[in-house]
Amino acid sequence: MEFDAARPHPSPHHHWVITISCADRPGIVHAVSGAIVAANGNITESQQFSSADTGRFFMRLQVESPAGLEEFETALAPVIDAYAMNAHVDVVGRPLRTLVLASTAAHCVNDLLFRQRAGQIALDIPLVLSNHGTLRDLVGFHGVPFESHPVTDADSKTAFEARVLQAVAEHDIELVVLARYMQIISPDLCEELAGRMINIHHSFLPGFKGANPYKQAHARGVKLIGATAHFVTSDLDEGPIIEQNVVRVDHSRTPAELVAIGQDEESRTLRQAVTWFAERRVLLDGVRTIIFR
Amino acid sequence: MEFDAARPHPSPHHHWVITISCADRPGIVHAVSGAIVAANGNITESQQFSSADTGRFFMRLQVESPAGLEEFETALAPVIDAYAMNAHVDVVGRPLRTLVLASTAAHCVNDLLFRQRAGQIALDIPLVLSNHGTLRDLVGFHGVPFESHPVTDADSKTAFEARVLQAVAEHDIELVVLARYMQIISPDLCEELAGRMINIHHSFLPGFKGANPYKQAHARGVKLIGATAHFVTSDLDEGPIIEQNVVRVDHSRTPAELVAIGQDEESRTLRQAVTWFAERRVLLDGVRTIIFR
Amino acid sequence: MEFDAARPHPSPHHHWVITISCADRPGIVHAVSGAIVAANGNITESQQFSSADTGRFFMRLQVESPAGLEEFETALAPVIDAYAMNAHVDVVGRPLRTLVLASTAAHCVNDLLFRQRAGQIALDIPLVLSNHGTLRDLVGFHGVPFESHPVTDADSKTAFEARVLQAVAEHDIELVVLARYMQIISPDLCEELAGRMINIHHSFLPGFKGANPYKQAHARGVKLIGATAHFVTSDLDEGPIIEQNVVRVDHSRTPAELVAIGQDEESRTLRQAVTWFAERRVLLDGVRTIIFR
Amino acid sequence: MEFDAARPHPSPHHHWVITISCADRPGIVHAVSGAIVAANGNITESQQFSSADTGRFFMRLQVESPAGLEEFETALAPVIDAYAMNAHVDVVGRPLRTLVLASTAAHCVNDLLFRQRAGQIALDIPLVLSNHGTLRDLVGFHGVPFESHPVTDADSKTAFEARVLQAVAEHDIELVVLARYMQIISPDLCEELAGRMINIHHSFLPGFKGANPYKQAHARGVKLIGATAHFVTSDLDEGPIIEQNVVRVDHSRTPAELVAIGQDEESRTLRQAVTWFAERRVLLDGVRTIIFR
């Protein structure tokens, strides 16, 4: 099956994306760009940010270079050492190995799988894991393997999370996406997957605690509802924010309509956050994210 | 296959939607509401508008009533006559019999079929007709019949349009959606389906004529791109506007990225326009639309 | 001094706005429209809403009629009695007598006064009261009397609130606007001015408690900041919401920039809420607002 | 007169903003950053873009350095020469000497003058020139000199434009803002002020030619209206676009209301474009702008 022509051209063979963070001090850009010149590289995209909060420096570069990956990393190594950098070099546009966790809601899963297939988002999704069987046909249509394992008590939850870690190892997973996976993640798994597990949840002004927030939002007459995509930490729904969106609603909306509207916001917000992560545009600065859009 | 729980409850058996237009004069609301009282009806939603441009009055009502459809229409008939109204009575939430025309682009078709199936949009789509075979699998997955007939010259175009009219008759079609159907519609077919054929196209500030508008928009450095859903008239891309959306872009976007962003706007704008039409919220006032959102 | 040509034409002499709320039951629209027909009125705008939450019915009408105000109210009186309605009849476009309370921030005050003067918002502001002298020149330029009284302890606060109530009586005030007035209103004053005192405050996702919320929002890396206009109740910042807006921000914004961005959102959100209130488009349904936009 | 506390802190004495454009080739970033290191500079902000359309490279840097301006420029000079750069070095936050041209509309002029005075926009406006006397009091209140000279025929137009050029020379003007100045600028003046004269105009989807576009937009039932800020060229309303915004409207809006809504969009769009220009975030790439937001 073909989709239409928006598919991006395959990346040139030697187009690298470099992300760096280190303590801020003069000379970093000069040192990095010197190493790139040494590898005959040409910088095609560059963004940087100095955090006044943490004193750290962040940079994202795209570089075209005839050098192979190993050769390129070798050229950068002395600079990375000298500045005690966290650095990562990768191929621009390489699909990110991504595990999707789901429950029964279809909207986020369908959005990600449809776009992966249409070539609009650089993901390689080898597996969808769910605690329900509901989405089997949908996932299958998109050509992705699907497994469901009920989570009903402490033991089945432990087993489910063990399967997650096994799948992460087996498929060399780089990102875990909670696409409306409606189980609380254990602190151990949060810790294990820190900085590479993204969740989506609804957002309201003001916030609402407890069950059925759409019903509460309706009762309170909020005028905006939205969604927040964030890294998962053991502090529930409070990890570093990656992306947020809202949409306007009015008094005539039923709670069921608010749910439908909220789902659209969740789909597009999660998709955006995952796209940026896959393109290595999301860096962590303490509890904040730096987004090099 | 199940989708999740946002599906609206089935409409109560006697929940009517009434749309009216007529020359504006005093007493219309009183006359209409009198007929509704006579049928033991309770007005649950009401919107009206008096057009200063055309001197016409427009109204949309939702009414709960124990009366059956025939009985209810009988109660309204004298008022409709007395005011020479264009009036329509229907069941709230009844799925609209909709024919979708497509070419090769998947985004709008997938969006409509996914939401129809999830119960988020009240459409009954018995057939997708295309001038290409590209979308056969996608449409089939959603359980909708698909036919493709190439359009390569005047004869095959005439044949395709004849098939459209035949399908309209066969399935008693109420709405034809051009979901990125990339052929110009003949004036005769425009005439035949006036007020019940909706098209989607990209929109830019300023507008661009001719081929490859995204490339032109890129060259000109526009900061907003969007989409317009409108009724089809023989005046190409100039029919009455139903809905418009835009999204912000910047200088770094390639033409291919502009296409992908534009497609998202097209999907959501077309979906919104079709939803409003299906809910009988779109009325025509000369070359303008009245949208009772 | 003249401003430019957007000033709306003066309302025709007999253009009435009617707002109604009552227990929902069949026949209300027919009864109201009957009374309007009896007064030779023509309905030019009409909106209604039945609240499933409270079982109440809300309606806003604009009517052109040759009847004078007293005559018109007399025609409506039997219907208002029969349905035990809360009802209000007024002249369309009549400027609302409005008292503005301010502290030191200029942005909301300037926005309201500039638009009042330009004829873009139907307010009649006879006085600005402040607990600081900061805005004296600005308010004076716009031709509005200004008084400042320091609020530094319980006694001066009591005196300030007594002056507010005195001004309300003296000028027959219909609306009190807290245009970044940075003092907590006493429960007694909240009670006294319930449903006619509007406040503006910043809004974040998630919300932040305590001092310096912009600094907290910066530290947490929020991607949206906004403002909420609401009726004042003794439950601080929790009264019925009238309008909300947000705007996108990113990691590079300093706390000072967030403040400036937030101020723009506050100005436009407060202005919108006040405009709707002045046009009698805001009705209360328990703790929710119905906004007939 | 004081305004509130959003005023940014004065820039540190040696905080430079550098803008560069040149033919793209490897090594530029390394060369520039080397010169900055030589001047003991620390890069605090950096953005770059390589235009695939024109093959040119664009960069904007902010640098803290103990070097004085002359010393700093001397350090950069060899690099600027070697790469045949268009380069500009300036003090971060230095108010831009700006001449405002106006006619009778107050909204854009008031917005710019209010924000200049509140310290929210880094402009130094020594004069407002108008072809009408309407805005004399408003401009005077903000403490800015005002001159009006009627433009009624070819001679008075020539005289007005001569006065513009004289004022540009007299005050060493860096930017001319057409704040709803309703006269066509002669090709000679366009040429003379190319790349430093910004205009604002309303924008619609689709565009409308000829007189009274808001009336046309109303007649056509557009759902979005907006504004575009652009550099002035002799090709009327077609210069490089700097910023665009839109806002949603519906069928119930009168032409007068569309005008008022459009004016708000014009004010905020012009203010944004001027702010970016003053911060040296706007660079020209042929007929496109690069905006380093």
Residue-wise pLDDT for D108-150, tens only, equals: 999 999 889 888 899 999 999 999 999 999 999 899 999 999 9
Residue pLDDT, tens place only, B193-212: 999 999 998 887 666 666 77
What percent of chain B is predicted at pLDDT more than 90? 71
Least confident of A204-218, B160-174, D186-200: A204-218
Q: What is the pLDDT, as a whole number, of residue D97?
A: 98
The three-state secondary structure class of A34 is: helix
Residue pLDDT, tens place only, B214-244: 888 888 888 999 999 999 998 766 789 999 9
Distance CA C239, CA C252 (A): 33
**All partners of chain D with 3 or more CB pairs under 8 angstroms:** A, B, C
Q: Please determine, for residue D223, whether its predicted confidence score (pLDDT) is greater than 60.
A: yes
The yes/no answer on whether domain C15-91 falls in CATH 3.40.1350.10 is no
**pLDDT range class, residue D11, cuts 50, 70, 90:** very low
Residue pLDDT, tens place only, C34-58: 999 999 998 888 999 999 889 999 9
Q: Please determine, for residue A204, whether its predicted confidence score (pLDDT) is greater than 90.
A: no
A264 in catalytic set: no
What is the strand order of the sheet C197-204 is part of? C146-148, C123-130, C96-102, C175-178, C197-204, C224-231, C241-248
- Interface residues from chain D to A (CB-CB < 8 Å): 24-30, 33-34, 36-37, 40-50
Q: Are the beta carbons of C259 and D5 separated by less than 8 Å?
A: yes
Q: Which of the residues B60, B203, B224, B265 would you substitute to probe the D interface, choosing the one with the greatest number of D C-beta atoms within 10 Å? A: B224
Q: What is the pLDDT, as a whole number, of residue C217?
A: 84
Q: Please determine, for residue D4, whether its predicted confidence score (pLDDT) is greater than 60.
A: no
Q: Please determine, for residue A56, whether its predicted confidence score (pLDDT) is greater than 80.
A: yes
Domain boundaries, chain D: 15-91, 96-291
**pLDDT range class, residue A21, cuts 50, 70, 90:** very high
Q: What is the pLDDT, as a whole number, of residue A238?
A: 76
Kindly list the residues from chain A whose CB atom is less than 8 angstroms away from the CB atom of residue D250: none
Q: How far away is chain B from the Cα of A259, in angstroms, using its nearest Cα?
A: 6
Q: What is the pLDDT, as a whole number, of residue B4?
A: 37
- Interface residues from chain B to C (CB-CB < 8 Å): 24-30, 33-34, 36-37, 40-50
**pLDDT range class, residue B177, cuts 50, 70, 90:** very high
Q: Please determine, for residue B122, whether its predicted confidence score (pLDDT) is greater than 60.
A: yes
Mean per-residue pLDDT of chain C: 90
Mean per-residue pLDDT of chain A: 90
Among B3, B8, B260, whose Cβ lies nearest the Cβ of A256? B8
Q: How far away is chain A from the Cα of D243, in angstroms, using its nearest Cα?
A: 18
Q: What is the pLDDT, as a whole number, of residue B254?
A: 87
Q: Are the beta carbons of A47 and D47 separated by less than 8 Å?
A: yes
What φ, ψ does residue B278 adopt, rounded to 5°? -65, -30
Q: How far away is chain A from the Cα of B124, in angstroms, using its nearest Cα?
A: 19
Around Cβ C121, how many Cβ atoms within 10 Å? 23
Chain C CA closest to residue D3: C106
Q: What is the pLDDT, as a whole number, of residue C9?
A: 40
Least confident of A116-125, A156-165, A264-273, D186-195: A116-125
Q: What is the pLDDT, as a whole number, of residue C203?
A: 82
Q: What is the pLDDT, as a whole number, of residue C26?
A: 87
C46, C28 Cβ separation under 8 angstroms: no
Q: How far away is chain D from the Cα of B191, in angstroms, using its nearest Cα?
A: 20
Q: Residue A204's beta-bridge partner residues?
A: A225
Q: What is the pLDDT, as a whole number, of residue C210?
A: 67
Among A24, A29, A45, whose Cβ lies nearest the Cβ of D33? A29
Distance CA D59, CA D49 (A): 7
**All partners of chain C with 3 or more CB pairs under 8 angstroms:** A, B, D
Chain D CA closest to residue C262: D6
Q: Please determine, for residue C171, whether its predicted confidence score (pLDDT) is greater than 70.
A: yes
Q: What is the pLDDT, as a whole number, of residue C13?
A: 55
C206 preceded by a cis bond (ω within 30 of 0): yes
Q: Please determine, for residue D66, whether its predicted confidence score (pLDDT) is greater than 80.
A: yes
Least confident of C208-222, D163-177, D269-283: C208-222
The yes/no answer on whether domain D96-291 falls in CATH 3.50.50.60 is no
Q: What is the pLDDT, as a whole number, of residue B100?
A: 98
Q: What is the pLDDT, as a whole number, of residue C238?
A: 76
Q: What is the pLDDT, as a whole number, of residue B10?
A: 40
Around Cβ D217, how many Cβ atoms within 10 Å? 25
Among D6, D114, D259, whose Cβ lies nearest the Cβ of C110? D114
The strand pair at A241-248 and A224-231 is best described as antiparallel
ipTM of the complex, rounded to two decimals: 0.84
Q: What tokens were used for A257? A: 């309509």
Chain D CA closest to residue C115: D107
